[in-house]
Amino acid sequence: MAVAAFDTPRRSRLGSSPWLLLAPSIVFMLALFGWPVVQALISAFSDDSGFTLAAWERLFSDPYFLKALRNTLLLIVIVVPVQLVLAVAMSLLVQARPKFLAGHFYLWTIPLAVSELAAGLVWLSVFDSRGYLNSLLVSWGISDTGVQWLNYTNTGTMLLAVVIAEIWRATSLVFVIVVAGIQMVPKDFDEAAQVFGASAWQRLWHVTLPQLKPSLQVALILRTILALQAFAVAQALTGRDFPLLVGETYQWYVNLQNPAVASAAALVVLVLSMVTALFYLRTMRQREGT
Amino acid sequence: MTTTLPPLDTAPLRRRRRRAIGVQVACVLVSLFMAVPMVLIGLAAVSSPDALVEFPKPLIPSEFSGDTLLAFIQATGTIPALGNSLLVGVYTVVLSLLVGAPAGYALARRVFRGKDAYQVFMLLARALPIVVLSVPLATMFLDFGVYDTVFSVTLLHTTLAMPTTVLISASIFVSVPTDVEEAARVFGCSRFEAARRVVFPMALPGLAASSIFTFVLSWNEILGAAVITLGHRTLPAQVLASLGEAPQAYRYAGGFALILPALVFILVMRRYLVNMWGTTLR
């Protein structure tokens, strides 16, 4: 109530309307986010003579595109669940307050600031045909010449390399979200369950995880959307041999000089993300409602 | 007295110790998974070019040399790209704060109609892959004659950083108590003066931390920078563009050079990590 007393008269309050403070950011986002969406739609659906689906036909008839779609979805389906489990395990380890926690925490969060490209190059030094992994295999006598992990004929091992690099790079993001969530969970419930003789596993499954659910949902969806954008890791490891959706946008624009098809590929990523994002906002809303 | 006590049950103690050891082993395993690849590329980067083509490679390179890193640094475009990256990062920080912080202040301090819609819009924008819009953006920049400039990359990166800047700065301004602002107004400051002289200095540490996050975002962004620029590339875009014809040594040295700043960023920011990336950004 006291706040109201300090409020300035109505006239000057209009002058300092919050929309004045919000306007620059709105203009900025409309000009550099809203307008490009419109532009992308125009360029993907039209050419000099008007409306056309030519760009889409070219995109879908390109063998790389369907492969890219399949690889991207495969990557998400494998990487995201592994990262969630790993991140929860890492957060529980942090909760156990081990020695040298600060050191461990530092190492675990470094990949947050490592770019996708750098992560790809790091794992290239491991998975390259003359890299460290093959050196190890050969010098231990497990293999004579090593495995061609990144050869374009070995889709399976390429997928494996990209999956490991992605897990290495992006688990820390999920980890940080889950750690933040786990710190907000009151200890009382866990202690109560302990008093009543619940095993560690029961406490995790019935007490900790249900309370972590909001954080896990957020992490799940954010990671899914970010994984849809993955491209530089695969680019650094395999070039175009392991195509991903955003990588195709890059290829069509930079190497094939075809903005229309590039826009179409970008729109596919955008629509997939939009579906995930709307789902994300809905679950957030429901959470606030309850 | 000790003789009268029943024998001590040490089983829980032992169980506790076993558990602590198990936790420590698991921690070390995860740390190894995170650290070993970085150590490996570091070793590769300080190997001499001859040692790099050896196979099987020994873990400790047979010959240390700065030649690999030096060749990367002296390669065409590396130094200018580094300069571009730094410029784009700093400009992005400044521009996104100038545009985003006032909006964050409004969200933190005011109740108004449409606030909810604005926040949902920002959350949605944050979730959407704005980078994939670099293709139409490139066309736009061409039309306006700013294609392939540091300025155009700054605009793109500021757009990427805008939703997070607004949301983080809102949470920073919320944490500055309203009392001090009111006190300043009692003593005759206008709303703007109170914000500038009282709230802003108190929010400065938080804003500085969020600026580093913005800088890291810009430093690491690659697709947009690669699409929008041709001659004035940022460092990651330069490395990506050179991947096709570059020798293995260039890749390892480049990867190592891109990782070094990450070590410093996280060392500086580790206190803010959980708060900023974990809580505010959800």
The string of pLDDT tens digits covering residues B203-230 is 888 888 889 889 988 999 988 888 888 8
C-alpha–C-alpha distance, residues A251 and B163, integer Å: 28
CB contact under 8 A, B236 and A232: yes
C-alpha–C-alpha distance, residues A266 and A41, integer Å: 10
Whether the Cβ atoms of residue A227 and residue A80 lie closer than 8 Å to each other = yes
Whether the Cβ atoms of residue B244 and residue B180 lie closer than 8 Å to each other = no
3-state secondary structure A256-275: CCCHHHHHHHHHHHHHHHHH
Question: Which residues 151-170 of B are in CB contact (within 8 Å) with A?
Answer: 155-156, 158-159, 162-163, 166
CA angle A9, A12, A18 (to 5 degrees): 110
Which pTM value belongs to this model? Answer: 0.86
Q: Which two three-digit tokens encode residue A95?
A: 């909760």
- Report residue A142's pLDDT band, with 50, 70 and 90 as the boundaries: confident
Direct distance between the N- and C-terminal alpha carbons of chain B, in angstroms, rounded to an integer? 59
Which one of A6, A225, A246 has the shortest CB-CB distance to B185? Answer: A6
| Biggest CA pair distance of chain A | 84
Q: What is the CA radius of gyration of chain B?
A: 26
For residue range A38-59, what is the model confidence (pLDDT) as tens digits? Answer: 888 888 888 777 788 888 888 8
Q: Determine contact: A216 vs chain B, CB below 8 A.
A: no
Residues of B in contact with A259 (CB under 8 A): 135-136, 138-139
Q: Determine contact: B21 vs chain A, CB below 8 A.
A: no
Task: Please give the pLDDT value at position B136.
Answer: 87
DSSP 8-state symbol, B47: B
Cα-based distances in Å from B99 to B152, B155, B204? 16, 12, 16
C-alpha–C-alpha distance, residues B237 and B243, integer Å: 10
What does the pLDDT average to over B87-92?
95
Residues 6+ apart with CB under 8 A from B90: B215
Q: Is the pLDDT of residue B113 over 50?
A: yes
Cα-based distances in Å from B212 to B258, B267, B275? 16, 12, 14
CB contact under 8 A, A273 and B182: no
Task: Please give the pLDDT value at position A14.
Answer: 44
Q: Is the pLDDT of residue A4 over 70?
A: no
Q: Which two three-digit tokens encode residue A161?
A: 């390399």
Q: Which of B48, B52, B49 is nearest to B64 (CA)?
A: B48
Residues of A in contact with B56 (CB under 8 A): 134-136, 138-139, 146
Amino acid of residue B183: A
Q: Which domains does chain B have, with CATH numbers?
A: 10-68 (no CATH), 77-242 (1.10.3720.10)
Cβ contacts from A onto B, under 8 A: 290
DSSP 8-state symbol, A34: I
Q: Determine contact: A228 vs chain B, CB below 8 A.
A: yes
Residues linked to residue B64 through DSSP beta bridges, in sequence order: B47
Task: Please give the pLDDT value at position A16.
Answer: 60
Which one of A93, A173, A263 has the shortest CB-CB distance to B23? Answer: A93
Q: Which two three-digit tokens encode residue B85?
A: 């990256």
CB contact under 8 A, A25 and B99: yes
DSSP 8-state symbol, B177: -
C-alpha–C-alpha distance, residues B63 and B44, integer Å: 11
Q: Domain A57-289: which topology?
A: MetI-like fold (1.10.3720)
Residues 6+ apart with CB under 8 A from B66: B46
Q: Which two three-digit tokens encode residue A20?
A: 């004045």
Q: Determine contact: B146 vs chain A, CB below 8 A.
A: no
Whether the Cβ atoms of residue A219 and residue A174 lie closer than 8 Å to each other = yes
* Minimal-distance CA residue of chain B relative to A141: B56
C-alpha–C-alpha distance, residues B171 and B165, integer Å: 10
Residues of B in contact with A36 (CB under 8 A): 133, 136-137, 140
- Report residue A12's pLDDT band, with 50, 70 and 90 as the boundaries: very low
- Sign of the alpha-carbon dihedral angle for A128, A133, A139, A145: negative
User: What distance in Å separates residue B7's CA from the closest CA in chain A?
Assistant: 24
DSSP 8-state symbol, A154: -
- Report residue B278's pLDDT band, with 50, 70 and 90 as the boundaries: low
DSSP 8-state symbol, B179: H
Q: Which residues of B97-133 are buried (b: 16+ CB within 10 A; e: fewer)?
A: bebbbbbbbbbbbeeeeeeeebeebbbbbbbbbbbbb
CB contact under 8 A, B222 and A179: no
For residue range B163-184, what is the model confidence (pLDDT) as tens digits? Answer: 989 988 988 898 888 888 888 8
The listed range with the strongest mean pLDDT (A40-49, A108-117, A208-217, A255-264) is A108-117
Task: Please give the pLDDT value at position A188.
Answer: 85
CB contact under 8 A, B155 and A24: no
Q: How many residues are recorded in chain B?
A: 282
CB contact under 8 A, B135 and A40: yes
DSSP 8-state symbol, A204: I
Q: What is the mean pLDDT of chain B?
A: 86
For residue range B139-158, what is the model confidence (pLDDT) as tens digits? Answer: 888 888 888 888 999 999 99
Q: What is the mean pLDDT of chain A?
A: 84
Question: Which residues 186-225 of B are in CB contact (within 8 Å) with A?
Answer: 186, 191-192, 216, 219-223
CB contact under 8 A, A225 and B222: no
CB contact under 8 A, A93 and B26: yes
Residues of B in contact with A269 (CB under 8 A): 129, 132
What does the pLDDT average to over B122-146?
83
Q: Which two three-digit tokens encode residue B26?
A: 């698991």
For chain A, give every domain's residue range: 57-289
C-alpha–C-alpha distance, residues B125 and B101, integer Å: 17
- In a mutagenesis test of the B interface, which of A10, A35, A38, A107 is the best target, namely the one with the most B β-carbons within 10 Å? A107
Residues 6+ apart with CB under 8 A from A17: B112
The DSSP code sequence of B52-117 is: HH-SSPPSS-SSB-SHHHHHHHHSTTHHHHHHHHHHHHHHHHHHHHHHHHHHHHHHHH---TTHHH
Task: Please give the pLDDT value at position A70.
Answer: 92
Amino acid of residue A177: I
* Minimal-distance CA residue of chain B relative to A183: B274
CB contact under 8 A, A125 and B252: yes
Residues of A in contact with B217 (CB under 8 A): none
Q: How far is CA A79 from the centre of its chain?
A: 10
Residues 6+ apart with CB under 8 A from A86: A167, A171, A174, A175
CA angle A68, A74, A77 (to 5 degrees): 145
Whether the Cβ atoms of residue B199 and residue B105 lie closer than 8 Å to each other = yes
User: What distance in Å separates residue A13's CA from the closest CA in chain B?
Assistant: 10
Q: Determine contact: B115 vs chain A, CB below 8 A.
A: yes
Classify residue B20 by burial, with Cβ atoms within 10 Å: 0-12, 13-18, 19+. middle
Q: Is the pLDDT of residue A238 over 90?
A: no
Lowest mean pLDDT among A4-8, A130-134, B98-102: A4-8
Residues of B in contact with A22 (CB under 8 A): 102-103, 106-107, 118
Q: How many residues are recorded in chain A?
A: 290
Cα-based distances in Å from A49 to A46, B80, B190, B258? 7, 42, 58, 46
Residues 6+ apart with CB under 8 A from B198: B180, B181, B183, B184, B189
Q: Is the pLDDT of residue A21 over 80?
A: yes
- In a mutagenesis test of the B interface, which of A41, A109, A199, A229 is the best target, namely the one with the most B β-carbons within 10 Å? A109
